[in-house]
Amino acid sequence: MPSSKRQFGDKGEKEAGEFLIANGYKILENNFRIKNLGELDIVAEKNGKLIFFEVKTRDAKHESSFPIGFSINERKRRNLKRIGQLYLIERDIPQDRDWQVDAIFVSVNFENNSHRIEHLKNILWEKYY
């Protein structure tokens, strides 16, 4: 049985997937993993572009002390870029295919049983924080 932390993260990934589908994305794959490097939580496509998603889920009560955006640092972005490149190679996708890495932040409020989703696009090249 997965740990409670893993179950919490899985719930966030499920919410993120539903959000993406509702916004016109086609989910191609979940949890593409490269040993010792990390994983792409969701691989999706929209308007011919391949998008790799990093999903971060946080309890809303911790937002003020540890904002969710800080969980994706420069090292994590480098790893996501490398995993994206390896995904193209492993899936035999042309290297000139248009792609980017986005982040989905899911903030869960257990007091009122709700959640908030924030979608940041193109996190490898844009500076958000």
Locate the domains of the chain by residue range.
4-120
Instruction: Just give the CATH number of 4-120.
Output: 3.40.1350.10
What pLDDT, on a 0 to 100 scale, did the predictor assign at position 129?
45
For 101-116, write each residue's pLDDT tens digit. 999 999 888 778 788 8
Residue count of the chain = 129
pLDDT of residue 126: 58
Whether the per-residue pLDDT at 61 is higher than 80: the answer is no
Distance from CA of residue 39 to its chain's centroid? 9
pTM of the model: 0.88
- Residue 108: HSE in the Cβ half-sphere, 13 Å Cα cutoff: 16
| Rounded-to-integer distance, Cα 72 and Cα 68, Å | 8
